[in-house]
Amino acid sequence: MVTDSACSLPAELAQAAGARVVPMWVHLGSEEHPDGALPTEEVLRRSPEGVTTSCPSPGQLLDACEQADDGDGVLVLTISARMSGVYEAAVNAARQRAGRTEVVDTGTAAGAEGLVVLAACAAARQGRSLDEVSELARSVARRARLVATVPSLDHLARSGRVPAIAASGARRLGLGALFEFRHGRAFPLRPALGRQAALERMLAMLARDADRSGDGPGRLHVAGLHALDRATAEQLVERVRLRWRPETSFVGDFSAVMVAHTGPGLVGLAWYWDRA
């Protein structure tokens, strides 16, 4: 299994699951660094130098695929193709391989992407075929949700990921900005009356998903996300654990590549219900 560093998986969790994570790149002025090589605080501090991001090269992805292939083929799971060129780079890498390589655009990012990766890794460990694992990954990607609150939508507006009018409205009214990432894009949600209200709204959305199945919601898989606010993300996930006892749960950092587009202070939840 191969994925990119936008997936927000803690390194030890990715290693235990059997996922090989290929770093994206952060560019600070004339310097370039693999995602995670510099503390996020330093990247933000140096942002006046100009911060941009880029995807791994096809060669890097090809090397990762060669190392990950144990003879049954390789599945590459990428951040949404609408956000990054990782998917195209992975397709190019797959064309250069003799061994079979499947590339799936998860259509999402961060913790939701990480949950797709963990589900696919679990299926692979059960001995399922590459076709079966790929189809499972696509199914989980369709169901996974990612909702987050940020102190400001300005970073997302500057990167073109939310409308500028939504950012200016939330800033002017002093509201807790909320967005949901779906179909490869960030969509502003109705703002909350402050940060705590935004966190409660996320839990309410998760609860509504749990109530939509008359036969019971099934098994929950959840990830807490943060950009330099780990304590709040951990508290949020602990509340989820106490109420729903999820089968999968973790707290992941937004890497510098992601924080460059969202700004600091983000806290979010990603989840899906497995009703199989």
| Domain containing residue 223: CATH number | 3.30.1180.10
Residue with tokens 């310097």: 31
Q: Do 205 and 241 share a domain, yes or no? A: yes
Residue 55's CATH number: 3.40.50.10170
| Alpha-helical regions (H) of the chain | 11-17, 40-45, 58-68, 86-95, 110-125, 130-143, 154-158, 164-173, 195-211, 230-244, 256-262
Domain count, the chain: 2
**Host domain of residue 233:** 145-274
Task: Pick the last residue of a domain from 125, 142, 159.
Answer: 142
Task: Pick the last residue of a domain from 113, 142, 171.
Answer: 142
Task: Pick the last residue of a domain from 142, 166, 200.
Answer: 142
Q: Do 149 and 123 share a domain, yes or no? A: no
Q: What is the pLDDT along the chain (276 residues), one digit of tens a residue?
A: 999 999 999 999 999 999 999 999 999 888 999 998 988 888 888 877 888 889 999 999 999 999 999 889 999 999 999 989 999 999 999 999 988 999 999 999 999 999 999 999 999 999 999 999 999 999 999 999 999 998 765 555 455 444 454 445 444 444 578 889 888 777 888 888 888 899 999 999 999 988 775 445 579 999 999 999 999 999 999 999 999 999 999 999 988 887 777 778 899 999 999 875
Q: Do 137 and 153 share a domain, yes or no? A: no
Q: Do 150 and 137 share a domain, yes or no? A: no
Q: Do 74 and 122 share a domain, yes or no? A: yes
What is the reported pTM?
Answer: 0.89
